[in-house]
Structure 1
């Protein structure tokens, strides 16, 4: 094997919380709603309404994604704009009940809930009727309630499978600006990690399972359970089926496969001021000195970070956290990196791990 340094996987989840336009390829994602109460409703509505356009007549071509839907067809000079866009909204069985419960907050017309999928044992009749009465759904509504009775997979897994199938179909119609991964959409799963502990553990299990790496020789795109061994080298990125994020409205959680990662935690295009002074003496401990320029750096995400081992003991090296570590062993029953903090001077957190881990960071409640 080559002695060259392994590549660094770049992460930029800031568009999940921000509304900025992206240069180059637009940030497209599928929104999957799980069967847990929807917390941080403003964040949920922000994701739900992504891709909705309005034009301010005195300041063209300013785009605001929280505004009412712009009439179709769009002017030609808008078609090329790259907006953070939810391409599909899928409820995993009882997730439709959760959307129905906050229906008063949803836009009266579009966008709508696109699919309900699962064994449908949790879907309430009033949520089904509301779904079928959505504007624009028409006679095709029943076809968008997809019953999959398979008891060997969860409703979560069925929803993710449908999201990936739809993503692949959409990718066939889009020109690629690069490699095959340019065509892959991320999946944001909302309302995870709430309720019963066994359900939360199942969600983390599926999050990990969905992000397994594939072998470069696996042209079918199937994930390999044996990936990650020296006999089965990985492609440079590893996230062959897109990246997946799990959020309960209070934190964002995703899988870091073994290797090096750089995670952007502040939107480099945002210039919203944040307080320069720490809130407590504890926050000052080990933190970098805050400069005047640091005080103007926006905090897109909150400060609390956890890095949890998934596949046995792991050696961690971090940079950009208040309590950075180097070749630090972490495992269940041993030391765990929880309740760490980002630092005021860090736009990016770097993590190098010898085995797969969960990365979680808290997010602000939008108002």
Structure 2
């Protein structure tokens, strides 16, 4: 049976609308537009800033609106958060937690906090996780995002990374159906064999489909593929985990 995917959390929504589903947002230390921020914030029930992500949240909003968007937690080694930002959120009751573990990144520490929250809650349903950032800026940080989400597929069902240009996530080995909103996604998309020697891909619903084709860094990669107008879903079968990315428009 194919795993079903959609990116409804990126849809514009009224400010007073309640989140649908169980979703946690992690704000990373990368720039983002207010439009994208409002979409993913409003679609999430729980909000966390990874260290310097608190600076991004603070600076993205005018002073009068900042108290309306308070994260549930700020966590990391706290070497990036500015003193004025820390003082602002602490004065409004936001927990700021220092974690000095040098073998874990700030992103990893925030994911651990989500796990701890899930353990404490009576409902065993896990949170979908949305990273605001992670696919832009420094190359080493982008590679960390690719690597960490590749590993997280073993323990979590759905972890997305979104920037103003792209949204991406890991498709584990097997079959997947991705529901396409053409007003939100496209025209380009790609399948990236990151973290695996190779995979064998089949797909339908794209301009350039493959059928039992090997894909690897040393060989063929389906980058700069395109959605087909009128097709409302893409079917993908992969023998190994692979990164799926899609261009965002109208955000």
Q: Which has the larger radius of gyration?
A: 1
User: What TM-score do you get using the length of structure 2 for normalisation?
Assistant: 0.91
Shift of 1:301: 1.4
Unpaired runs of 5+ residues, structure 2, are none
Q: Does 1:198 align with 2:140?
A: yes
CA deviations 1:101-139 (Å, max 9, x no partner) are 2131883543412211011111111111221233xx2xx
**Of 227, 247, 250, which residue of structure 2 is paired with 1:362?**
247
User: What TM-score do you get using the length of structure 1 for normalisation?
Assistant: 0.63
Aligned to 2:31: 37
Tell me how far apart the structure 2 counterparts of residues 197 and 264 of structure 1 sit (CA, whole Å). Answer: 29
Q: Does 1:17 align with 2:17?
A: no
Aligned to 1:299: 183
Tell me how far apart the structure 2 counterparts of residues 106 and 244 of structure 1 sit (CA, whole Å). Answer: 32
Tell me how far apart the structure 1 counterparts of residues 66 and 82 of structure 2 sit (CA, whole Å). Answer: 21
Regions of 4+ moved over 6 Å: none
Tell me how far apart the structure 2 counterparts of residues 324 and 105 of structure 1 sit (CA, whole Å). Answer: 49
Matched residues, number: 246
CA deviations 1:323-356 (Å, max 9, x no partner) are 1110111101211110000011211111000110
Of Structure 1 and Structure 2, the greater strand share is in: 2
Coordinate RMSD, CA, aligned: 2.0
In the alignment, is the contact (CA less than 8 A) between 2:76 and 2:105 conserved in 1?
yes
CA deviations 1:163-208 (Å, max 9, x no partner) are 23223434x1x4xxxxx6xx12200000212221111101111111
Q: Does 1:308 align with 2:204?
A: no
Tell me how far apart the structure 2 counterparts of residues 242 and 168 of structure 1 sit (CA, whole Å). Answer: 16
Tell me how far apart the structure 1 counterparts of residues 233 and 22 of structure 2 sit (CA, whole Å). Answer: 22
**Of 122, 125, 139, which residue of structure 1 is paired with 2:83?**
125
1:86 match: secondary structure? coil
**Of 226, 230, 234, which residue of structure 2 is paired with 1:341?**
226
CA deviations 1:28-48 (Å, max 9, x no partner) are 21010111122x320112222
